[in-house]
Structure formats: C-alpha cells, structure tokens
Structure 1
Amino acid sequence: MPTIHFLTSEKSMEVPEEANILRMSLRYDGELPNRCGGGICGTCVCKIEQGAENLDKVKVQEKRKLGEEWLEKGYRLGCQTFVKEGDVEISWDEEVTKQVKRRKPDKIKKEVSSSGTR
C-alpha cells in the first residue's frame, strides 16, 4: 500500500491505491487545509515534495486554479489529486495558500477541431 507523508503536520498514513489526498487527510487527520473539496477555492493546495510520478494526471480544475506557474513549481490541489501507486510526500504553506486562494481561475481554451467543418 502507498504511504502519504504529510510533512507539515508530521503525519504519515498507508492508503489504498487510487486514494484521494484530501479525503485521506480528512479521514486520518492529516491536517491538510481544506474548504470546498471541488477544486474551486484553492485551500488544499500542496507541494509534492517527493513521489509526483506516483500521482494521477493534473485535472482541468487544477490547471484553471493553479495555472502553469504553480503547477511547474510542483503544486497540486489535494482535492483533485489521487495516489496511483508508491509513496508521496507533501507539504503546504500558509502564504502559498493565501496567494492561490486569491488567484482568479484561468480560462481553458477549447481545442478547435477542423475535421468535419466545411
């Protein structure tokens, strides 16, 4: 079973594969800050310190709320992120959380398909 290490709260827990980071924090008192659980508020923003390769793909909500700047620095939204296999270490910072919460979501451009158009 994978382990999530919550570095900021100094807690670790074994979790099933495909476990959501925020849900596991709530269930086992990992102390990851949270509010909405839907990828809108940004309160559960966390930095993936180790094990990013053990997570699922970045979701549209994360791209909108975090933007490329925060994603490139290794940040994810706990409510949108699932542990596939292997251990993960995460941390969070109150100042980063404040900045992300204030950030306006990006508009994701839809890809225009030219097939079938005349």
Structure 2
Amino acid sequence: MPKIHFVNNDKQLDVPENSNILRMSLRYDGELPNRCGGGICGTCVFKAIEGAEYLDKVKIQEKRKLGEEWLEKGYRLGCQTFVTNGDVSLSWDEEVTKQVIKRKPDKLQKEVTSV
C-alpha cells in the first residue's frame, strides 16, 4: 500500500494504489489547499519531493494550467494526479500557488495526423 507524505504538516497516509492525491487529502485531512477539484483554479498545485516516479502521467488539464515551465520543475495538480504503486512525499508553497492561480491556461494545439 503506497504512502503519501504531506511534508507541510508532516502527515503520512497509507492509501490504496491509484488513489487521487486531492481526494486522499480531503478524506484524511492532508490539508492540501484546494478550491475547484477540476484542474482549472490551480489551488492544489504541489511539488513531488520524493517518489515522482510513482505518480501517473501528466493530464491535459495539468499541461494547460501549469504549462511546461511548472511541469519541468516537478509541479503537479493534486486534483489530477494519482499515486500508482510507491511512496510519495509532496509539499506546496503559498507563493507558487499564487503564481499558478494567476496563470491563464495554455491553449493546446490539436495534433494532426495524416493517414
């Protein structure tokens, strides 16, 4: 059973595989900031301190809200991110959250494939 360690409040949760970070935080009082739960507001932005390899792949909504800049720095959205099969430590920063909230979502280009 994977563990999520919320560094900011030093809470550690045992969670089932493929658990959503924000849902587990809400259910077990992990205190990850949140507002919308849909990848739009950016309030639940966090950084994986350890175990990023145990997070699922980045979703389109994360690409739109965070952009490559924040994703490359290791930031994810708790509402869009799931823990797969290993332990993860994560933290959040009020200043980063403010910057992400203000950021306008990117318009993603649709991929065109020729047949």
Question: Percent sequence identity over matched residues?
Answer: 77
- 1:10 is displaced (CA, Å) by 1.1
TM-score of the two chains, using structure 1 as the length reference: 0.96
Q: Give the residue type in structure 2 aligned to 1:98.
A: K
Match of 1:75 in 2: 75
Match of 1:16 in 2: 16
Match of 1:28 in 2: 28
Match of 2:110 in 1: 110
Q: Give the residue type in structure 2 aligned to 1:32.
A: L
Q: Give the residue type in structure 2 aligned to 1:67.
A: G
1:15-94 correspondence runs (5 A) = 15-94=15-94
The alignment status of 1:100 with 2:100, answered yes or no, reads: yes
- 1:113 is displaced (CA, Å) by 1.4
Residues in 2 aligned to 1:9 and 1:105: alpha-carbon distance in whole angstroms: 29
Q: Deviations over 1:12-61 (max 9, x none)?
A: 10000000000000000000000000000000000011101101000000
TM-score of the two chains, using structure 2 as the length reference: 0.99
**Equivalent residues, number:** 115
Instruction: Look at both structures and tell me which one has the larger radius of gyration over its CA atoms.
Output: 1
Instruction: Name stretches of at least 5 consecutive residues in structure 1 with no aligned partner.
Output: none
Over aligned residue pairs, what C-alpha RMSD do you find?
0.4
SS of 2:26 mapped into structure 1: helix
Q: Give the residue type in structure 2 aligned to 1:78.
A: G
